[in-house]
Amino acid sequence: MKPDSPVPRIRTDLDIIPTSYQGQRALVVRDRLGLIRNPVILQGDALRLASLIDGKRTVRDIQVELVREKKGMLVDLNQVESIIAELDAAFLLQSHLYHREKERLVAEYARLEVREPSHAGLSYPAHPEELRRFLDSILESGRGEEESRARGQVCAVIAPHIDLEAGKRVYARAYRAIQNARCRRLFLLGTGHSQDDGFFCLTEKHFQTPLGLVKTDREVVQRLKRAGGSAVGRSDIFHRQEHSLEFQVLFLRHLFGASFVIVPILCGSFAAELGRVSRPSDIQDVAAFVRALRQCWEEERGASLFVAGVDLSHIGPKFGHRERAASLLLEARHHDHTLLGALIRGDAEAFWAESWKAKDKYNVCGFSSLALLLDVFPGARGRVLDYEFWQEDATQSAVSFAAAVLEVS
């Protein structure tokens, strides 16, 4: 890299988590796309140098800035170039190397017929019998609490996608609410955490689980791709390591065996549209996608269900806030309950307006999936079954999540 050429900026699709390592401030970097196999720890000179990479500064600019910070102490240009080269080799920069490797990964993944589980053996047991016991123990969590009965036809259930152990009581409330449902086709909505192409990411791949294969309704996926046009991303690579749907597929396979097919949909961010429109279907290609989704549901109305795997507020330093989660907890909780209130009233515009008012301050990663759900079922009514905040002491951060159902008459 030439000293007077701009250094490619840091990738925007990485998880960057503040922490301490060996008594020093550090950042842990994780890659949901999967180019970086193991977390990278940045600290010391590498951490400070990385903070100066903005896509505009050159190697020499960064050297000058470091010399200024060190009050005139010499910083060797070769050392700066060496650290930048290491960051590039680790696929942290949006460089030619990163784009070439991403294209290779996309092409390799596109050839596969089946999505292998990415979190088996990490987030849940990989052995079938052990996994069944694990899921049964989750479904038993909180049993004995009063179970409310559906007043109409359940069209959607909202479940978390947080760590299974951390969210077990809320997972249990969500999946016990549909355990007796008759399901032949399940539309899965999840957060595309690394998604940077299109509002929606669809895949025709079947989902492998330790409990057996879950088949994808490829015909419906193709119909939705045609209907969604530019709103649907070109590649399904973002499903590769995404857990927001993988966790839901586990429960569904455990509850219903192999008696159903799925339509897996990852939702990207609507944040850029918040001030321009009042609901997703105000966007032309998204509107066509919503109509097609509703039509597909109507065709199997008596045996078709939406499952949204979403979390709510993400607060604290881990998620970009200067304040600790404890300082934001009350206002984030109020924001969550305002969103959930709009959701169960079927008020799509109030749901959208609350997020616009908050300027997405609380990082509600399930916003797009839930906004889409409200557009598919305008006027639906629902019930919140459970709500919880999980707090991570090590990072002074927290995540909220809920279980709920939507019903149509």
Q: Is the confidence at residue 244, as pLDDT, over 70?
A: yes
| Environment class of 186 (CB within 10 Å of its CB; exposed 0-12, middle 13-18, buried 19+) | buried
**Structural domains of the chain ordered from first start:** 14-106 (1.10.10), 114-408 (3.40.830.10)
How confident is the model at residue 135, as a pLDDT?
98
For the entire predicted model, the pTM comes to 0.92
Give the mean model confidence (pLDDT) for residues 207-228.
98
Give the mean model confidence (pLDDT) for residues 129-158.
85
The DSSP code for 319 is: G
Tell me the residue ranges of DSSP E strands in 250-338. Answer: 261-267, 304-309, 314-315
Q: Who contacts 180 (Cβ-Cβ below 8 Å, separation ≥6)? A: none
How confident is the model at residue 146, as a pLDDT?
58
- HSE toward the beta carbon, residue 337, CA cutoff 13 A: 10
Terminal-residue alpha carbon distance, the chain:
63
Q: Distance (Å, rounded) from C-alpha 171 to C-alpha 139?
A: 7
Q: Is the confidence at residue 212, as pLDDT, over 80?
A: yes
Inter-helix orientation angle 44-51/59-69, to 10° = 120
How confident is the model at residue 150, as a pLDDT?
59
How confident is the model at residue 151, as a pLDDT?
67
**Nearest partner of 202 among 177, 230, 172, 234, judged by Cα:** 234
Q: Is the confidence at residue 143, as pLDDT, over 80?
A: no
Positive/negative CA dihedral, 26, 31, 35, 38: positive
Model confidence over 87-121: pLDDT tens digits?
999 999 999 999 999 999 999 999 999 999 999 99
- State how beta strands 397-408 and 381-392 pair: antiparallel
Tell me the residue ranges of DSSP E strands in 160-274. Answer: 185-191, 200-202, 206-209, 212-216, 261-267
